Structure 1
Amino acid sequence: MNQKQEDNKKGDKPKIGFSRYFLFLVSLIVFIAVFMYGPKTEEISWMNFEKNMLIEHDVSRIIIVNKETAEIYIKEEKLNTAKYKALTEGVFANKFGPHYSIQIGSVESFENKLEKAQQNFKEEEKIGVTYSSRTSWVNIISWVLPLFLLIFFWYILLRRMGRSTNVGGVGSAFNFGKSTAKLMDKDTKSKVTFKNVAGLKEAKIEIMEIVDFLKNPQVYTKLGAKIPKGVMLVGPPGTGKTLMAKAVAGEAQVPFFSLSGSEFVEMFVGVGASRVRDLFKQAKEKAPSIIFIDEIDAIGRSRGRVNALQTNDERESTLNQLLTELDGFGTNTGVIVLAATNRADILDKALLRPGRFDRHIYLELPNKQEREEIFNVHLKPIVKADDVDVKVLAALSPGFSGADIANICNEAALIAARKKKEKVAQEDFMQARDRVVGGLERKSKILSSKEKEIIAYHEAGHAVASWYLKHVDSLMKVSIIPRGKSLGAAWYLPEEHQIITKSQFIDRICASLGGRAAEEIIFSEISSGALDDLEKITKQAYNMVTFYGLDEEIGPMSYYDSTGQSETLFGKPYSETMAQLIDREVQDLIMTSYERTKKLLIKYKSQLEELAQLLLKKEVVYEGDLEKILGKRSLDIFSDKNQS
């Protein structure tokens, strides 16, 4: 065994020691105990002093301190008598005095009484009086000790705060203005690489170019190229912005400073700007390096007039300092700033301009092929069964982000473990998808027979209407088992569209109104069960009219604001007359679609009733049972020609 192994073996033994703060506390307690319970001077009355001490010739001298107290000292030979035994025995024996004290009213009065008491004494037996001025330790400690304890506890508090806000190690008590960025270098390298980032091919190409510039700058600079100062990653939540930054940290092989935009915001004015300065100073010292600011919208919000009522001086000063720093370092100094946000529309224009953030990389929700790649990444650690079809999982998760897919894989593993399975099957992934989209199944929710019947016809209405509408996605299953907030659901296999036509919008609105229409046709009354459907189709109808310009009466006009500034306006961007016209057109659109849906369900009423009865019996109806009742789906049965 070598010396290093022996040292490691010895190092395994737990070390026993005391904190210096603990030792200080113990010492302080001992000091206070000695101070409070140590040798004290007993205070007596003048009568006791005169009869028991002065007349008995026991007093050796008297000292008047600060003209307030008379200290009495007993003769040494008298201390050995039984009378003064209490002064010479015990832990806190007081042999040297002063042994007693008397509070005097005035010096003249005390001297007169002393002279009168000694008038029969011989001249050599009389006790003289001396005077002294002192500063009492009690008075000093009474105000020094609380002050010292206050400073001591503040020191501990600030030191702990300093540790949490320092980059490299133990911080000081006054490092509020220091950067709180987490530094990743060769010793603390990120384990995430571009191999762990599935999809996002175009974004990876641009990011990899930045990394290559840091590794081989001469390839670019010899041609006169300049390194981008900043790269802004923009995209919806869960699309992989932070993951991409971690991959850059793992691939770049350069110091990587990572922090959130909210860490610049502090309760003390000027701290944010100070931290920005310190961050860029550290980055320049360690160049080539990368700075990553996550959720930069915390400090980068627009300073426009619409935000005048929400102005925060500390946030604005921090943003101004950030803008200055981004302008302050040269293009080829080797410092690159990465930033991520899902609210690029609210960022200040001065922050986004070329020269500060030269590149804007948009990370969109993954398409089917990219979702398949993401599934393959997250399925690696999962023990999956042979029937797991990744292509089907990718097809059944349109609009899902990478974070959603990771959640589905984890939920599937949890469901399989709950069932004591050895492998995760396709069925578990399907249940996990339903769990993530619709919420937890609530089979224990008690419904009356009448409520259950209404729900069955409601969901059957959705199913029949969508089955015969051309532009509605394929129906997979219908369920009347309560899940999450819903009491039933129709599950579809959505197709991915980059644009949506007016006919597709109208068909989707009709399918959503199928439940409400079925209730009216079967029960001749309506219920509150269509609340979610009505909310959804109302928003769709307003979007068609006000955003997409799909209404013939209003024409090709759009009140959509891509900058996001209209969110902070108090009024609408159109007149009251236009508002009335919009409301009327939206109402006409919804009522026309509702009547169209009712005609369709009346035409296929027998199939509607048969499907509802099957739902009451089985609770969940799949595509095969739907085809037995409704037949093979023919998209020409209720085509655009019959929409009137």
Structure 2
Amino acid sequence: MSKDNNNKNNNKPFKEFKFKFNFYWIYGILFALIIGYQFFNSSDLASTNLTENEFVELLKEDDVKNIVIVNDDVAKIYLKDEAFEKAKFKKLKESPFFNKNEAAYIHEFGELGKFQEKLDQLKSENSLSFDTSYTNETSIWEGLSLWLPFLIIIAIWIFIMRRMSGAGSGGGPGGQIFNIGKSKAKLFDQDQKVQTSFKDVAGLEGAKEEVQEIVDFLKNPDKYTKLGGKIPKGALLVGPPGTGKTLLAKAVAGEAKVPFFSLSGSDFVEMFVGVGASRVRDLFKQAAQKSPSIIFIDEIDAIGRARGKNSFTGGNDERENTLNQLLTEMDGFGTDTNVIVLAATNRADVLDKALMRAGRFDRQIYVDLPDMNERKEIFQVHIRPLKMDSDVDVEFLAKQTPGFSGADIANVCNEAALVAARKNKKAVHHQDFLDAVDRIVGGLEKKNKIITQKEKRTIAFHEAGHATVSWTLEHAAPLVKVTIVPRGQSLGAAWYLPEERMIVQTEQMLDEMCAALGGRAAEQLIFGKISTGALSDLEKITKQARAMITIYGLSEKLGNITYYDSSGQSDYNFSKPYSEETAKLIDKEISELIETQYKRALKILSDHKEELTTLAELLLEKEVIFSDDLVKILGERPFIKEPLAVKKEETKKEDIIPEDSTETSANQKDVNNEGEISTELV
């Protein structure tokens, strides 16, 4: 270790030990006091056993004051006060357990009748003045044996209650039966700081501005209050999974420098009635004591669902009681403390309206999927710990991953490192990232899947049909590569690079539908029969056609009307928002729309039948082809705006898809008009 590191370690402040009270210590102290009292109060400790001859000699000297016969078999001998002044009893006084009021000696005799006759004889012969009495006593261990069953029952009861309360091995809040109503929130303060800052959050510029203002308010409240402004009560982070809502909250905790309470919505829920509301009260009480402070509730939809819907639990709904208490704490009488509530959810449509109103969650911050520039920033964050080769093109990777969340991009970077390590490389190359995207989106490559030559030829023409139609249509997404190597649940795939559009025109949607039908049209044109391989294509275009007619109002016969309900209330209805006649018209429009695009795809493929056959034969030979191969066969796209920077080194299968490679994932993000990556599967 270097000298600097030693100095750094020596300068670290010593962590002061903090005393933590545990209620079980009281039980231990009481038990120890009882045992100690029984132990030290016992006369057996200060007494000495006497033999028969020693007992007779002691009586003859007339030093005995009283003899107590215990349990008819033991004699406890008490001495006179003046006897302790004699030299022979000096050792008794030096004992730490000495007590002149306790028995000095113990003598165990045989039969009680003979012992009494002997005492009477010695008393009369030597004119002795001692008294005799009788009693029954129990020993320490006999007393413990009486209490032991009760102690075991109490211990078992405490153990069961701890298990029922969800307590772990520790003794923190909520861990004991007496603390079951305490909050389970984890506190981050000056002793336990969060290291995440806004620098670690790539993209999310709009969301960061919103939460930065909250952090600034906590740091400099006078800047806002002098103008009459009030601190916002709460901010709700809404967005798809993996977009960075929890990461943004961690950054707020790291930047705010105020006490930060973090917990999940499910932490309020317990099997006992009233526990959720009690934990809400305790949470806000702790936050108020440490104000200004921040409370972060992740997955708030666990307790914030709309009240009164699908409630079959009767009048006393524990979840509703918890929500009512949360509503009261956030905006009720006596809520003037500087406590800000941050919450995150990807199910904002199911939250209660009272929770969403201004005065509780004043701001709703939508954390959307990142665009291309934001994806580039996220890639740059996650590739920092990787050993990168110089050929990695981050901008191209950002273009090739539309629809990926921050969590997906982190997974891509990690998978790329694993792919490179599997190939025994010293650095992560660009091709490793492409293989990682294939692995995540398309599925694991299955080289041992049994496919007949006839099936393989059908798959090749199917994928060639997708490629040919999309290449000749202006608004279809540009092709990146086509493969007939089985992956996941697919037998082949065509990879596209769609534009990221804010709005989509009718012509663009129709071109994409036509391209999706190119596979089935190619089968019909070449073989005169169709197969089940177009299932994912049909599913996608049917949903797209229904959306065009019933949601976006793109049907001339239906007109400018939509049956979309953004509030989500239609999910609870059993009836359709249109008549049976309209339903028939919608079904007819969907069918006509799809059939028109299918005939259009057939016409395009008929005009380029020779190129289609050449492309399919090349695909059968190489199994993977790229956009450069389409340029050689079909020529350049006349309407392409900028050339694609597709990196292709070789077209041999063993170079493109190595034997030990794990590439793309099966439940892929299908092409749609929301910026997601397009992967046509057979």
Query: Shorter-chain TM-score: what band?
Result: 0.7 to 0.9
Distance 1:403 1:213 in 2: 30
What secondary structure sits across from 2:331 in the alignment?
helix
Residue 460 of structure 2 corresponds to 456
* Alignment counterpart, residue 349 of structure 1, candidates 353, 370, 382: 353
Distance 2:552 2:170 in 1: 51
Residue 155 of structure 1 corresponds to 158
Alignment CA distance shift 1:194-1:316 (3 Å): same
The answer on whether the counterparts of 1:159 and 1:172 sit within 8 Å (CA) in structure 2 is: yes
* Alignment counterpart, residue 438 of structure 2, candidates 416, 430, 434: 434
1:317-343 deviation per Cα after TM superposition (whole angstroms, max 9, x unaligned): 110010000113767522100011111
Structure 1 residue identity aligned to 2:636: K
Question: Once the 2 structures are TM-superposed, how far is the Cα of residue 616 of structure 1 from its aligned partner?
Answer: 0.7
Alignment CA distance shift 1:474-1:330 (3 Å): farther
Structure 1 residue identity aligned to 2:279: R
Question: Once the 2 structures are TM-superposed, how far is the Cα of residue 150 of structure 1 from its aligned partner?
Answer: 3.6
Residue 177 of structure 1 corresponds to 181
Residue 219 of structure 1 corresponds to 223
Which of 482-491 and 140-149 deviates more?
A: 140-149
Residue 400 of structure 2 corresponds to 396
Q: Between the two proteins, what is the percent identity of the paired residues? A: 63
Structure 2 residue identity aligned to 1:295: E
Alignment CA distance shift 1:331-1:174 (3 Å): closer
Alignment CA distance shift 1:170-1:179 (3 Å): closer
The alignment's TM-score, normalised by the length of structure 1, stands at 0.76
* Alignment counterpart, residue 193 of structure 1, candidates 190, 197, 208: 197
Residue 302 of structure 1 corresponds to 306
The answer on whether the counterparts of 1:167 and 1:182 sit within 8 Å (CA) in structure 2 is: no
* Alignment counterpart, residue 523 of structure 2, candidates 519, 522, 546: 519
1:387-427 deviation per Cα after TM superposition (whole angstroms, max 9, x unaligned): 11111111111111111111100100110111111100000
1:495 matched to 2:499? The reply is: yes
Alignment CA distance shift 1:550-1:146 (3 Å): farther
1:61-105 deviation per Cα after TM superposition (whole angstroms, max 9, x unaligned): xxxxxxxxxxxx99xxxxxxxxxxxxxxxxxxxx9899xxxxxxx
Alignment CA distance shift 1:331-1:481 (3 Å): same
Alignment CA distance shift 1:140-1:397 (3 Å): same
Structure 1 residue identity aligned to 2:575: G
What secondary structure sits across from 2:179 in the alignment?
coil
Question: Once the 2 structures are TM-superposed, how far is the Cα of residue 171 of structure 1 from its aligned partner?
Answer: 3.9
* Alignment counterpart, residue 320 of structure 2, candidates 316, 322, 339: 316
Structure 2 residue identity aligned to 1:537: I
Structure 1 residue identity aligned to 2:637: R
The answer on whether the counterparts of 1:228 and 1:336 sit within 8 Å (CA) in structure 2 is: yes
Distance 1:165 1:208 in 2: 38
What secondary structure sits across from 1:244 in the alignment?
helix
Distance 2:443 2:449 in 1: 14
* Alignment counterpart, residue 607 of structure 1, candidates 604, 607, 611: 611
Residue 471 of structure 2 corresponds to 467
What secondary structure sits across from 1:307 in the alignment?
coil
1:179-222 deviation per Cα after TM superposition (whole angstroms, max 9, x unaligned): 01111111111110000001111111111110111111112112
What secondary structure sits across from 1:328 in the alignment?
coil
Structure 1 residue identity aligned to 2:394: V
What secondary structure sits across from 1:373 in the alignment?
helix
Alignment CA distance shift 1:270-1:561 (3 Å): same
Question: Once the 2 structures are TM-superposed, how far is the Cα of residue 148 of structure 1 from its aligned partner?
Answer: 4.1
Residue 77 of structure 1 corresponds to none
1:259 matched to 2:268? The reply is: no
Question: Once the 2 structures are TM-superposed, how far is the Cα of residue 162 of structure 1 from its aligned partner?
Answer: 6.9
Distance 1:168 1:216 in 2: 34
The answer on whether the counterparts of 2:174 and 2:184 sit within 8 Å (CA) in structure 1 is: no
The answer on whether the counterparts of 1:167 and 1:180 sit within 8 Å (CA) in structure 2 is: no
Unmatched 5+ stretches in structure 1: 9-18, 28-72, 75-94, 99-131, 637-644
What secondary structure sits across from 2:524 in the alignment?
helix
Q: When the two structures are aligned, how many residues end up with a matched partner? A: 525
The root-mean-square deviation of aligned C-alpha atoms, in Å, is 3.4
Distance 2:583 2:567 in 1: 22
**Residues 106-117 of structure 1 mapped to structure 2, 5 A cutoff:** none
Structure 1 residue identity aligned to 2:155: F
Structure 1 residue identity aligned to 2:608: Y
* Alignment counterpart, residue 420 of structure 1, candidates 421, 424, 443: 424
Alignment CA distance shift 1:332-1:144 (3 Å): closer
The answer on whether the counterparts of 1:165 and 1:175 sit within 8 Å (CA) in structure 2 is: no
The answer on whether the counterparts of 1:291 and 1:335 sit within 8 Å (CA) in structure 2 is: yes
Residue 410 of structure 2 corresponds to 406
Distance 1:241 1:437 in 2: 23
Structure 2 residue identity aligned to 1:155: I
The alignment's TM-score, normalised by the length of structure 2, stands at 0.72
What secondary structure sits across from 1:174 in the alignment?
helix
The answer on whether the counterparts of 1:516 and 1:526 sit within 8 Å (CA) in structure 2 is: yes
Distance 2:558 2:490 in 1: 36
Question: Once the 2 structures are TM-superposed, how far is the Cα of residue 149 of structure 1 from its aligned partner?
Answer: 2.7
